[in-house]
Amino acid sequence: MDNKITSLIKNISDTILRDNIKQHEFGDVILPFIVFRRLDAYLEKINKKDIIREYNQALKKSSNAEEIIFHKFKIPFFNFSSYDLANLISDPKNIDKNFKNYLKSFSSNIIDIIKNFKIEDKINTLIEKDLLFKLIDKFANIDLGIDNISNHKMGQIYEELIRYYSELYDEESGNHFTPRDVVDLLVSLVFETEKDKLKNKNLVRSIYDPCCGTGGMLTIGKEWIKENINKDLKVELFGQELNDVTYAICKSDFLMADENPENIKGPYSSLSNDKYSDRKFEYMITNPPFGTSWSADEEFVKNEANQSNGRFLSTLPRTSEGSLLFLQHLIDKMEPNGSRIGIVFNGSACFTGDAGSGESEIRKWVIENDFLETVIMLPDKMFFNTGIMTFIWILDNKKSNKRKNKIQLIDASKKFKLLKRNLGEKNKEFLDDHIKDINNLYEKFENNDESKIFENNFFGYVRTTID
């Protein structure tokens, strides 16, 4: 189902936008329209006439008309215009002004999302080139309702299209999207050992992702807990996202998934504008961007690194690679009573930097504080934008007795199935059996050909210059 819809949407952009909109701007146009149709489909289930009547009456009586509608109808958002995508196309001559009126008539939480798409200029271009009617007509006939496509499936559609349009622009598409099979492995490693802790009733637990993209890793983490541990556990999701488009998509989907969209902060960098500076979390899962400069955050990070209670060590990594800064950011948010972190790295987090360098000092601090529990080497070519080897680090500030002052290294580089067709650079995937095998290696905690266990001090070294 989702493959058909993804292909249909790609075809819309190729047939309607090609030769009229620059190819690298396709995503800037199409992704917001997917959200508009998704919102539109949600509102089809609601009696809009009642909302419009109630809203107009509330405006006459109170300045808090929105709150009155939210309270009375128990809905996360609404639109008080008489238009939807279907009846917009019934008046082709006035579709330009009617569509703009439709967008302006959403509740303020959706207006914020639309603002982050920065789509006003694109809409004007569509109007100038006589494409707006054609685009709305196509999207009005796609069923993107939540009954037809779950939020998880919708997330996959978003992320595949983000990857596709990013590649047209030759961007680092992997910065937006972690493949589902890698996420499944990551969340199983974080949560599998927590089963006994999470089976009690009336528990509330939090999951946080400082680079949350469209929110897929968060929702998959929650889904895994509900399906494998405790369906009644209350799981609260928190995230922050720098990219304005993926931030807007994430917030819109949270609205329709009965998640709290106010728990998604952005579009701001978690490093220099941490919107959860006063929060701790039980679980944290993330895939920070590989090989990305943090020079835009440099002044702020260096100032905080000079503070005794800051998140960052005074010895910082080189500005060309910021992944270890995200690791420190997460460690700062660990609950004193116990937190677990699952984070995806490339090899630079493991190997870059000689003794005494910023990278080495950060690794030393992590190991000497006994945070690092496991490092899993994944196969190459698991990601869409890079063929390099990648690693999952699992950290825990309340290790089990058998793991205290030890680090387990797991070689999972030979556990994969080749894809029939490459997806960008990705030509390998994990099947369920591979994920089970890796989890078994992790849980057994034994020395064998694929698993090695070392004392923390095994990783310490010094570099000595002899004249």
Q: Is the pLDDT of residue 247 over 70?
A: yes
CA–CA distance, 324 with 326 (Å, rounded to integer): 5
Rounded distance between C-alpha atoms, residue 347 and residue 349, angstroms = 5
Separation CA 103–CA 95 (nearest Å): 12
Does the pLDDT at position 182 exceed 80? Answer: yes
**Which pLDDT value is given to residue 169?**
58
Q: Is 422 helix (H, G, I), strand (E, B) or coil?
A: strand
171 or 34: whose pLDDT is higher?
34
Residue 241's identity, in one-letter code, is E
- Predicted confidence at residue 2, as pLDDT, reads 64
Q: Is residue 176 predicted with pLDDT exceeding 60? A: no
Checking if the pLDDT of 48 tops 90, the result is: no
Burial zone of 136 (CB within 10 Å; 0-12 exposed, 13-18 middle, 19+ buried): buried
pLDDT > 70 in the chain, percent: 97
Mean pLDDT in residue range 113-120: 92
Which pLDDT value is given to residue 344? 97
For the stretch 411-461, pLDDT in tens is 999 999 999 998 878 999 999 999 999 999 999 999 999 999 999 999 987
Does a cis peptide bond (omega within 30 degrees of 0) precede residue 92? no
Q: Range with the lowest mean pLDDT among 99-108, 258-267, 305-314, 456-465?
A: 456-465
Under 8 Å between Cβ of 392 and 373: no
Tell me: pLDDT of 59 over 70. yes
Q: Over pLDDT 90: what percentage of the chain?
A: 74
* Cα separation, 110 vs 430, whole angstroms: 37
Provide the strand spans (E) within 251-297. Answer: 264-265, 283-286
Assess contact for 384 and 426: CB atoms under 8 A: yes
Across residues 403-413, what is the average pLDDT? 98
pLDDT surpasses 70 at 172: no
Whether residue 171 is predicted with pLDDT greater than 70 in this model: the reply is no
pLDDT at 466 over 90: no
Backbone angles phi, psi at 443, to 5 degrees: -70, -35
Task: Say which amino acid occupies 87.
Answer: N
